[in-house]
Amino acid sequence: MQTLDTPLPPTRVILEQGTLWGRWGTRLAWAIASISLLVAMASFGANQQYFQTDAKVVEKYDSLSRVASAKVAIVDVSGAIMGGSGFTRWQLDQIEKDETVKAIVLRVDSPGGTVSGSDEIHYRLARIGKKRNLPVVVSMGGIAASGGYYIAMANGGREDVIFAEPATLTGSIGVIIPHFDLSKLIQKFDITDDSIASGPLKEMLSPTKDRTPELAQREREILQTLVDEMFGRFKQIVKDGRPKLDEDKLSAVATGQIFTAQQALDAGLVDRIGFLEDAVTRAVELAGLTADTARVVSYSRPRSLLDEVIGGNSSARGRGTLEAFAEWTTPRAWYLCSWWPSLISSQ
C-alpha cells in the first residue's frame, strides 16, 4: 500500500510512430493521384475530337516539313462510291475552308460506284480546284476504274498529273444498270409478283415481274437510252481531263475494258507510273513549294470512345449494313468495274 511519502513510479509517454509502409504508402497514393490527373489531362488534349460532336474529319501530319504552314492535302477515296455526301465530301469541305492548303493529291483506290455519287465528287473536287486555283494530282492505288477513273478527271486538264502504281488496274470507262430476272425462279415456288403499279414502266427494273416480250423490249430500249446518255457524259468528262485524247483514241479505250498501268500509260489514260510519294512531289512542284516549305497532311474519321472500347467504327458499321441493303434493293446506274455491285459496300 502506497502512502503519501511513497514516490510514484515514473510516467512513460509512448509516441506512436507510423510504420515505413504507412509513410511511403501515403506518398505513393499522392503520387499516383497526381500522375493520374496529368494523364487524364493529356488524354483529353490528345483525344478531344471524341467530344467534338461537329468534327467529321481529323487532320494528321503525313510527311515533309512538320513546321511548314503551306499544306498539300491527300484526299482519300476508297471502296465503292455510293454517294457524294460521305467521308470524301467531308474531306473536300475541310479543304475548302482551309486557306493554307495549296495543292490536292487525290488518292483513289476504288472500283467505281453510282453515277450520281461519282459525278458529285468530280464536280466538288473540280470546283474547289478552279475556285482556289489548286493543282490536283491523282495517285491511283490498286484499282481506279470506272467511277474511280471518272473522279480522277477532276484535274483541270493539266499535264503530268495522273500517277498509276505498277500494279494498278484502271479504265473500265462505261456505264452499267444491273438487272436480274428472277421471275422464272419464283414461279417454281408458286410465287407470283402481283404488285400494283401506276403503269407498266413503273416496275421497269423489278427482278420478279413476269413481262411480255413486247414490254421487255420496250424497257430495254428505254434503259439503253439512259445508259447511252450517261456514257456520253462520261466520255466528255474524260475529254476534259485528258485533252490530248482525240476522238479516235477515246473511242478505242472507252469500251468498258480494264487496263494495267502500262497499258493505260500507252493509251494515254495516265501520265506516269509511280507511287503516292511521286504524286506528292509533283503536287509540291505545281504549288510552287519545296520539301522544306510544304507540309503534307491527310484526313481520318474521328473515333469515339465506344470505338476505342469495341474496336473499329461502330457508326460506320451500322451505316454500311443499311447502305448495302439499300443499294441492293434500289435500281441504280453505275460507273462500276464489276458485274455484281450488290456485294460491294461503301467504306
| Pairing verdict, β 258-260 and 272-273 | unpaired
For residue 119, pLDDT beyond 60:
yes
The active-site residue out of 195, 202, 251, 315 is 202
Q: In angstroms, what is the C-alpha Rg of the chain?
A: 32
For residue 63, pLDDT beyond 60:
yes
56 is catalytic: no
As given in the structure block, the three cell numbers for residue 25 are 504508402
The active-site residue out of 110, 146, 172, 206 is 146
- Which burial class, exposed, middle or buried, applies to 110 when counting CB atoms under 10 A from its CB (0-12, 13-18, 19+)? buried
pLDDT at site 334:
77
Decide if 135 contacts 158 (C-beta within 8 A): yes
| Angle, CA 19 vertex, CA 16 and CA 20 arms, to 5° | 145
pLDDT of 307-331, one tens digit each?
555 455 544 544 555 456 555 555 6
79 sits in the region (left: phi over 0; alpha: psi -120 to 50; else beta) called left
Residues with Cβ within 8 Å of residue 314, at least 6 apart in sequence? 304, 306, 307
Domain covering 58-180+230-343 assigned CATH 3.40.190.10 in the classification: no
- Mean pLDDT check: name the lowest of 55-64, 133-142, 290-299, 328-337: 328-337
| Strand, helix or coil for residue 294 | strand
pLDDT of 32-55, one tens digit each?
766 766 655 545 444 444 444 457
Mean pLDDT confidence for 268-274? 98
| Pairing verdict, β 162-164 and 272-273 | parallel
**Cα separation, 117 vs 85, whole angstroms:** 8
For residue 232, pLDDT beyond 80:
yes
**Cα separation, 72 vs 60, whole angstroms:** 12
Instruction: For the chain, give the percent of residues with pLDDT over 70.
Output: 73
> For 44, phi and psi rounded to 5 degrees?
-65, -40
Q: What is the mean pLDDT of the chain?
A: 84
71 is catalytic: no
Give the relative orientation of helices 115-132 and 213-241 as an angle to the nearest 10 degrees: 20
Among 77, 85, 82, residue whose Cα is nearest residue 110: 77
pLDDT at site 307:
54
| Strand, helix or coil for residue 273 | strand
As given in the structure block, the three cell numbers for residue 82 are 455510293
As given in the structure block, the three cell numbers for residue 58 are 481529323
pTM, rounded to two decimals: 0.78
Decide if 70 contacts 294 (C-beta within 8 A): yes
Find where cell 495522273 sits.
162
**Cα separation, 208 vs 202, whole angstroms:** 13
